[in-house]
């Protein structure tokens, strides 16, 4: 097992991935031009006459004009990750004295960013004076010409400026973008990375917190930049590294294997023993033998989640579209009189677990089997379902009603909000039986922190029905015995990461 994980690491040693670092590709507006753009793959440059011919040929089609052609060509070079060819086209434009409009300039900034990104953020080197001057001159002349920039040009400018000594301008430009939209993952990430590399740690962290609030994914470059800050800092690196691990923990972030590799290399350089390892089903780390934890919600967190689900998911605007107020009132009465249940069962989800093309006899017997399984264990069961289930075959339906409490909603209502609330209302330890991951409901929760709590609660309390045998014995996928989140167990930090070629989570075990 260890060997396999190490192999995953070593196979990817030369391949550094950027989770959201790729600039958006400009789609060519028609099939016309595709053959030309296909020739952009894998060749480092084109001659003056080749560029001239490509430009002329594209301009014969009305999808292309003098205003968009250069940005499209440059965008194609970038989307094919061919920076060298992009540079060759820039040389051509300069020789021809073709002026860069806003769209071309934005693409040129993206190209300059891609050309210098690794040197700056991955290796922590400063830009050569010539490169830096090129970016700053181009940006300053742009600002002289235009007082207000569109968000695409702003984002291109941020990418390029983040590499330079004038990186703090990115903070102002982020504010400009916010006037019309939420900044992109990349704009936030490059600015935070620049802050870390320039030893402005508080600015870096505050940007990362902002990204979490805005539901943005943190690009790998941020972690690389932070590790480069650690290499240069006089602060205690263990304390600084723990700040990063705590951030991963608080936000349930699972890093990519490339980032784990860089953390591991940094650990080796800094004398922190670490191994890529696996954790057993019983939650034991195979490297240090420490038991990993399951993070339970504390009482305050649980109460906050329950209130938010009721406010945003049950009474929220969305549910009223499909439900009438009478039903919500009936539900209110039901829950105020409700006892606590050990198990809350998603009736239709269980019924349809073997597919929707079966007979009501099959649907009802699946639900009856699951009810029976829990009742035999002495558990109190609630089945949430819809009115039409009343038409199920009498024997199974009577069994369900005699052994469980049943709450039915209108046939057109969504029943899962009720299911969620009944489970939460029954208490912290109630089991919820459904295969539904409830994503759409999670997104109705407005705060990121509540969404994280929701994930933690559901993943720990959810039983997913896999099958019911011919004898009527159900098999479930049980909640994992640990939380897949960065955690300190004894002297060891455990950092989960996604291996490239495997769906299972692996762990970095670091001795502190």
Q: Do the beta carbons of residue 405 and residue 269 sit within 8 Å?
A: no
Q: What are the beta bridge partners of residue 474?
A: 468
Query: Which of the 8 DSSP states describes residue 20?
Result: S
- Considering the complex, what minimum distance in angstroms separates the CB of residue 488 from Zn ion? 10
Positions in 331-350 near Zn ion (CB under 5 A): none
- Considering the complex, what minimum distance in angstroms separates the CB of residue 492 from Zn ion? 4
Measuring CA to CA, how many Å separate 203 from each of 152, 193, 235, 454?
Answer: 23, 10, 17, 29
Picking from 457, 438, 473, the residue whose alpha carbon sits closest to that of residue 346 is 438
- Considering the complex, what minimum distance in angstroms separates the CB of residue 508 from Zn ion? 9
- Considering the complex, what minimum distance in angstroms separates the CB of residue 296 from Zn ion? 21
Q: Which is nearer to Zn ion, 89 or 275 (CB)?
A: 275
- Considering the complex, what minimum distance in angstroms separates the CB of residue 285 from Zn ion? 3
Encoded one letter per residue, x for contact with Zn ion by CB under 5 A and - for no contact, window 10-29 reads --------------------
Residue among 297, 431, 509, 510 that touches Zn ion (CB under 5 A):
509
- Considering the complex, what minimum distance in angstroms separates the CB of residue 25 from Zn ion? 41
Query: Which of the 8 DSSP states describes residue 505?
Result: -
- Considering the complex, what minimum distance in angstroms separates the CB of residue 289 from Zn ion? 7
Q: Which is nearer to Zn ion, 347 or 496 (CB)?
A: 496
Q: Which is nearer to Zn ion, 312 or 487 (CB)?
A: 487
Encoded one letter per residue, x for contact with Zn ion by CB under 5 A and - for no contact, window 484-503 reads --------x-----------
Q: Which is nearer to Zn ion, 2 or 146 (CB)?
A: 2
Q: What are the beta bridge partners of residue 284?
A: 291
List, edge to edge, every strand of the sheet that includes 381-386: 405-409, 381-386, 343-346, 431-433, 462-468, 474-477
Q: Which is nearer to Zn ion, 289 or 411 (CB)?
A: 289
- Size of site (CB under 5 A) for Zn ion: 5
Q: Which is nearer to Zn ion, 112 or 486 (CB)?
A: 486
The H-assigned helical ranges of 310-464 are 317-322, 325-336, 347-351, 360-376, 394-403, 416-426, 439-442, 448-461
* 282: three-class secondary structure by DSSP: coil
Picking from 168, 185, 164, the residue whose alpha carbon sits closest to that of residue 121 is 164
Q: Which is nearer to Zn ion, 19 or 287 (CB)?
A: 287
- Considering the complex, what minimum distance in angstroms separates the CB of residue 290 from Zn ion? 5
- Verify binding: residue 354, Zn ion, rule CB under 5 A: no
User: What is the maximal distance between C-alpha atoms in the chain?
Assistant: 86
Which residue carries 């696996």 as its tokens?
A: 278
Tokens of 347: 């009736």
Tokens of 422: 């009944």
Positions in 277-316 near Zn ion (CB under 5 A): 285, 287-288
Q: Do the beta carbons of residue 238 and residue 474 sit within 8 Å?
A: no
- Considering the complex, what minimum distance in angstroms separates the CB of residue 272 from Zn ion? 13
- Quote the CA–CA distance of 393 and 368 in Å, as a whole number: 11
- Quote the CA–CA distance of 219 and 245 in Å, as a whole number: 16
Q: What are the beta bridge partners of residue 384?
A: 346, 407
- Considering the complex, what minimum distance in angstroms separates the CB of residue 493 from Zn ion? 8
Q: Which is nearer to Zn ion, 139 or 492 (CB)?
A: 492
Segment holding 406, helix H or strand E: strand 405-409
As a whole number of Å, the CA-based R_g of the chain is 28
Segment holding 408, helix H or strand E: strand 405-409
Q: Which is nearer to Zn ion, 280 or 455 (CB)?
A: 280
Q: Which is nearer to Zn ion, 225 or 508 (CB)?
A: 508
Which positions touch Zn ion (CB under 5 A)? 285, 287-288, 492, 509
């Amino acid at each position: 097992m260890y060997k396999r994980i190490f192999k995953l690491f070593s196979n990817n040693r030369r391949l550094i991935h950027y989770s959201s670092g790729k600039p958006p590709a400009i789609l060519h507006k028609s099939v016309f031009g595709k053959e030309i753009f296909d020739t952009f793959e894998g060749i480092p440059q084109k001659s003056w006459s080749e560029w001239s011919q490509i430009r002329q040929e594209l301009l014969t089609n009305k999808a292309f004009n003098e205003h968009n052609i250069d940005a499209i060509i440059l965008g194609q070079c970038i989307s094919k990750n061919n920076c060298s060819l992009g540079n060759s086209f820039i040389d051509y434009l300069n020789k021809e004295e073709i002026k860069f409009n806003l769209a071309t300039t934005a693409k040129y900034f993206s190209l300059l960013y891609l050309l210098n990104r690794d040197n700056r953020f991955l290796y922590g080197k400063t830009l050569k004076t010539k490169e830096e001057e090129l970016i700053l001159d181009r940006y300053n002349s742009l600002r002289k010409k235009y007082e207000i920039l569109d968000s695409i040009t702003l984002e291109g400018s941020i990418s390029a400026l983040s590499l330079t000594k004038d990186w703090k301008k990115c903070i102002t430009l982020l504010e400009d973008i916010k006037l019309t939209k939420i900044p992109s993952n990349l704009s936030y990430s490059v600015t935070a990375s620049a802050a870390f590399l320039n030893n402005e740690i508080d600015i870096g962290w505050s940007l990362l917190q902002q990204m979490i609030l805005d539901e943005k994914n943190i690009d790998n470059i941020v972690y690389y930049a932070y590790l480069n800050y650690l290499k240069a800092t006089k602060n205690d690196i263990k304390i600084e590294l723990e700040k990063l691990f705590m951030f991963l923990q608080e936000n349930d972030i699972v890093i990519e294997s490339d980032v784990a590799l860089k953390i591991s290399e940094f650990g080796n350089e800094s004398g922190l023993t670490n191994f890529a390892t696996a954790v057993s089903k019983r939650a034991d780390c195979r490297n240090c033998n420490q038991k990993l934890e399951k993070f339970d919600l504390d009482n305050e967190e649980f109460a906050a989640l329950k209130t938010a689900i009721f406010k945003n998911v049950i009474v929220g605007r969305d549910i009223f579209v499909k439900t009438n107020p009478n039903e919500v009132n009936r539900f209110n009465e039901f829950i105020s009189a409700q006892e606590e249940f050990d198990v809350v069962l998603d009736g239709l989800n269980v019924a349809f677990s073997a597919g929707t093309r079966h007979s009501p006899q099959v649907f009802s017997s699946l639900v009856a089997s699951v009810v029976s399984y829990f009742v035999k264990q002495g558990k109190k069961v609630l089945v949430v379902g819809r009115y039409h289930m009343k038409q199920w075959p009498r024997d199974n339906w009577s069994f369900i009603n005699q052994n469980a409490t049943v709450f039915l909603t209108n046939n057109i209502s969504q029943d899962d909000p009720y299911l969620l609330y009944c489970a939460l209302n029954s208490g912290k330890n109630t089991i919820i039986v459904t295969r539904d991951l409830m994503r759409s409901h999670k997104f109705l929760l407005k705060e990121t922190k509540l969404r994280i709590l929701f994930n933690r609660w559901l993943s720990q309390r959810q039983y997913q029905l896999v099958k019911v045998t011919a004898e009527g014995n159900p098999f479930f996928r049980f909640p994992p015995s640990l939380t897949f989140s960065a955690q300190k167990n004894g002297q060891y930090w455990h950092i989960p990461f996604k291996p490239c070629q495997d769906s299972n989570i692996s762990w970095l075990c670091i001795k502190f």
